[in-house]
Amino acid sequence: MSDQGGSAVASSASAANSANPMVGGAAMYPTRNIVENAVNSADHTTLVAAVQAAGLVETLSSPGPFTVFAPTNAAFDALPEGTVATLLQPENKATLTRILTYHVVAGRMTAADLAAKTRMTGGQAELTTVAGAKLTVSQSPSGGWMLTDTKGGTANITIADVMQSNGVIHEIDAVVMP
């Protein structure tokens, strides 16, 4: 990519519009927003329930743009037993919101954008999440991309560049914690 300006972004978005990957057995439509697509993924029902419990549906349906690192149901299932049920209780809404917004970065960052950012910063790039905490992105030992949270936990990006009308989703295999 020789041009880092708007035409490169438009052409990148246009290419993604025609080739969004299937997620959770469902087509992901680039003309729909993050929430409209996520509700159709069989692999993200826990995430959708959490977004609803945290009251973030309206925010993630807004124009954004947002980059969402979306944990799968299996990622939530890997948390200690009872964690998800506890987080979904109304009295834990603030904690749930902080965890979910830790998975969101303002702006649309494709895998190519993440790669460029890591190259510019020596192999690791710090992202500031909507929660205000740092999330580090780097290349994983397997050659893909991984996130490292503030506690040293890691998550691998398993499906990248699922383009949305208001951003991009990258599916991840673990829940990252602020």
What pLDDT, on a 0 to 100 scale, did the predictor assign at position 157?
96
Please answer whether residues 56 and 101 qualify as being in contact, where contact means their C-beta atoms are separated by less than 8 angstroms: yes
Residue whose structure tokens are 């929660």: 131
Q: In tens digits, what is the pLDDT along the chain, a chain of 178 residues?
A: 333 333 333 333 334 445 788 788 888 989 999 999 999 999 999 999 999 999 999 999 999 999 999 999 999 999 999 999 999 999 999 999 999 999 999 999 999 999 999 999 989 999 999 999 999 999 988 888 999 999 999 999 999 999 999 999 999 999 999 9
| Rounded Cα–Cα distance for residues 108 and 52 (Å) | 22
Domains and CATH numbers, the chain: 27-172 (2.30.180.10)
Please answer whether residues 105 and 170 qualify as being in contact, where contact means their C-beta atoms are separated by less than 8 angstroms: no
End-to-end CA distance of the chain: 34
DSSP for 67-120? EEEEE-HHHHHTSPTTHHHHHTSGGGHHHHHHHHHTTEEES---HHHHHHHHHH
pTM of the predicted model as reported, rounded to 2 decimal places: 0.87
Report residue 76: phi and psi, to 5°. -65, -40
